[in-house]
Amino acid sequence: MMAAVAWMYRSPVYRGVVPGVLRLFGPVHVGLYRLFRGRVVGRMSQGFMPLLLLTTVGRKSGRQRTQPVGYVRDGSDFLIVGSNGALTSDPGWVFNLRARPEAEIELNGTRMHVRARVLAGNERVRAWHEVASQYSFFNVYQSATSRAIPVVRLDVAPPSTAAESV
């Protein structure tokens, strides 16, 4: 099944169209997510994965950048995957988090400060298994690209200093 679908993600048409679509619909999705506090557009179409809004600081621009990102809870933390729709490069937010790991997430109207860690070794393997066992489309994405898709852990700051309602 994976090979039957993975060819689509490798096609020049997909790789030519998807980046523009993501740039166009990202801000629209963020606005709708905030308007409805995640109740209407709070899930990805693939696997009905829940979404949060991730705000990073651009490594080059220094400007805040907000993107909808699918997540899996891992205790009090969040696991997010830099699949970028199986494109050949990591999404911009991964580069931003590598440069500056402090970020903010918004989940159903609540904002939380987080610290990001791009996982490696056994910790990445365990986290990948956790995410891909719930949302198998990530395995298809991985089979469609030659890069190792990053898995990022978002460690939530203590609630007394981290959460604020929007």
At 12-21, the pLDDT tens digits run 665 566 666 6
User: Mean pLDDT, the chain, as a whole number?
Assistant: 83
CATH number of the domain residue 124 falls in: 2.30.110.10
First to last CA, the chain: 42
Average pLDDT over residues 61-79: 94
Distances (CA, A) of 114 to 16, 33, 44, 101, 159: 33, 19, 22, 8, 11
Quote the pLDDT of residue 35. 84
Which residue type does 33 have? Y
Average pLDDT over residues 124-131: 96
Alpha-carbon radius of gyration of the chain: 15
**Is 66 inside any structural domain?**
yes
- Are 66 and 103 a contacting pair, CB within 8 Å? no
Quote the pLDDT of residue 12. 66
Distances (CA, A) of 99 to 59, 93, 104, 107, 117: 6, 10, 15, 23, 11
Distance CA 78, CA 6 (A): 27
**Is 165 inside any structural domain?**
no
pLDDT at 45 over 60: no
Distances (CA, A) of 50 to 47, 58, 147, 148: 9, 24, 24, 23
Quote the pLDDT of residue 26. 73
**Is 164 inside any structural domain?**
no
**Is 166 inside any structural domain?**
no
**CA angle, residues 24, 65, 48, in degrees to nearest 5:** 60
Quote the pLDDT of residue 9. 58
- 157 Cα distance to chain centroid: 19
Distance CA 42, CA 93 (A): 19
- For residue 97, the enclosing domain spans 2-159
pTM of the model: 0.79
Quote the pLDDT of residue 42. 64
The total of structural domains in the chain comes to 1
Residue 106: pLDDT band (50, 70, 90) is very high
**Is 65 inside any structural domain?**
yes
